[in-house]
A and B are shown apart, each in its own frame.
Chain A
Amino acid sequence: MALSKQEIAQRIAQELQDKWYVNLGIGIPTLVANYIPKNIDVVFQSENGMLSMGPFPIEGEEDADLINAGKQTVTILKGGSLFDSALSFAMIRGQHVQLTVLGAMEVSQNGDIANWKIPGKMVKGMGGAMDLVASAENIIVAMMHTDKSGASKLLKRCSLPLTGVNCVKKVVTNLAYLEIKNNAFYLIERAPGVSVEEIKAATEGTLIVEGEIPEMKF
């Protein structure tokens, strides 16, 4: 069975390490916050100017002055701090944030990512995505393995305008967990019940399969 969006987030959450500062993008990445492993402490950074971002407020306690980068009302946890956008991106560019998780339309086997623009369609803008991917040491992309028409999103080269080059190290899709190195996608884990052949068929870029590929464990 291919993973649900929640399960993709759950698998990515297993990559979190104690004492990490983490920036989660909009969409599947946001769900990662629901699956933080017990016994570790991580802090979520919101690039509009907050550390220790907490859950949505209880109804009636929404504050127009406390939102996340998706403009949703949120809360701030104990030990949190607030700051301006220049300082926020100083944290990001200065590599004080250990992990960035974001969605993508396409990823290529050399680690390029495209997630902000489709030619001919309304362009909304890149927001903070270009700053995040250009600077983060650790980037995990969370996305579906194929698009709605069934075309692979793991490519030899991205066809859409790029967000960043040579930056993505790991991809977790509904079918697989892959690492990017040596100009190829290395298959590390399969979604439970998904065969190597299915993953090969859904991957346009070079896929390296070394030995037995284990299933993901939850």
Chain B
Amino acid sequence: MINKVVNNAQDALLGVENGMTFMLGGFGLCGIPENCISELVRLGVSNLTCISNNAGVDDFGLGLLLKKHQIKKMISSYVGENEEFERQMLSGEMDVELIPQGTLAERCRATGAGIPAFYTPAGYGTEVAEGKETREFNGKMYVLEHAFNPEFAFVKAWKGDTAGNLIFKGTARNFNPMMAMAGKITVAEVEELVEAGELDPNQIHTPGIFVQRIFQGKDYEKRIEQRTVTQKS
């Protein structure tokens, strides 16, 4: 067993520097690496390129990094719900690259799977395909999309073990497994860290081979972005 455990977020983010490219898991505020984001804010690293499906809200998630002007470029599929984001985008302080959600997911997967590029139909004939190679297969047009090259990937899991194996819960899985595959250094923070052998190998979502550092997260807020309920009848 290779032990991947580090003490805390501070140790997990050793080597993080200005100007780096990061992947951050999560969909909206669901399954985001809360502890890693807090530590990035504390470190104050800047000029970052962040690949994440969304950009958080004004006072939580990646919004915390935006507020401190730490992000130079966001690569996302949807970035609503954040006024400071809108301001920095419109004023040109921050670059934004919007890409289709499935393309984003597959580019993350390709990065970790050793696939430099792939064809997808998403975005053909739209501005997303401008300047990109296109090709016809079986009578349908496709766009060539490339893998990323992130220095770090930060992911959040429900349970993890000392060998770095991860299990996600509910829809908090989202982009986390592909991003875990993609990081040169992948940092996993977990709600519950257990000894190797305690998780059933049949139930592992992300094998520990993809995880370089794992730590027990703390003080999870797990905020709900849109609380929708059915009244008891």
B93 is an interface residue with CB less than 8 A from chain A: no
A214 is an interface residue with CB less than 8 A from chain B: no
B230 is an interface residue with CB less than 8 A from chain A: yes
| Interfacial chain B residues near A63, Cβ < 8 Å | 170
> Count of A-B contacts with CB under 8 A?
176
B72 is an interface residue with CB less than 8 A from chain A: no
Nearest CB in chain A: distance from B150 CB, A: 16
A72 to B168, CA, bound (A): 19
Residues 78-119 of chain B, each 1 if its beta carbon lies under 8 Å from chain A, else 0: 111000001001100000001011111110110000000000
| Contacts known (A64-B30, A125-B78, A126-B98); A59 close to B229, Cβ less than 8 A | yes
Using C-beta atoms within 8 Å of the partner chain, give the interface range for chain A: 35 or more
A68 to B227, CA, bound (A): 11
The A interface is mostly helix, strand or loop, or mixed, namely: loop
| Contacts known (A55-B230, A93-B122, A128-B100); A85 close to B174, Cβ less than 8 A | yes
B28 is an interface residue with CB less than 8 A from chain A: yes
Interchain CB contact under 8 A, A62 and B178 = no
B203 is an interface residue with CB less than 8 A from chain A: no
Interchain CB contact under 8 A, A122 and B230 = no
Interchain CB contact under 8 A, B229 and A66 = no
Residues 48-72 of chain A, each 1 if its beta carbon lies under 8 Å from chain B, else 0: 1110000111111111111111111
Residues 149-171 of chain A, each 1 if its beta carbon lies under 8 Å from chain B, else 0: 00000000000011111100000
Interchain CB contact under 8 A, A130 and B122 = yes
| Interfacial chain A residues near B104, Cβ < 8 Å | 85
Closest to A50 in B: B171
Interchain CB contact under 8 A, B228 and A86 = no
A68 to B108, CA, bound (A): 21
Using C-beta atoms within 8 Å of the partner chain, give the interface range for chain B: 35 or more
A112 to B77, CA, bound (A): 20
Interchain CB contact under 8 A, B30 and A59 = no
Partner of A122, one of B90, B121, B223: B90
A69 to B194, CA, bound (A): 31
| Interfacial chain A residues near B120, Cβ < 8 Å | 93, 131, 134
A116 to B189, CA, bound (A): 34
Of the A-B pairs whose beta carbons lie under 8 Å apart in the complex, a sample of 7, sorted by A's number, is: A61-B229, A65-B170, A71-B226, A84-B178, A86-B105, A125-B78, A165-B124
Q: Which residues of A does B touch, CB under 8 Å?
A: 46-50, 55-74, 76, 82-86, 88-89, 92-93, 112, 122-131, 134-135, 161-166
Q: Which 9 residue pairs of A and B lie closest in terms of their CB atoms, listed nearest first?
A: A89-B102, A131-B102, A165-B125, A65-B170, A124-B80, A125-B78, A85-B105, A130-B100, A134-B121
20 additional A-B pairs beyond A64-B224, A84-B178, beta carbons within 8 Å, are: A47-B101, A47-B102, A50-B171, A60-B229, A65-B222, A73-B224, A73-B228, A84-B168, A85-B27, A85-B104, A85-B105, A86-B106, A89-B105, A93-B121, A122-B89, A123-B98, A125-B80, A126-B101, A127-B77, A127-B78
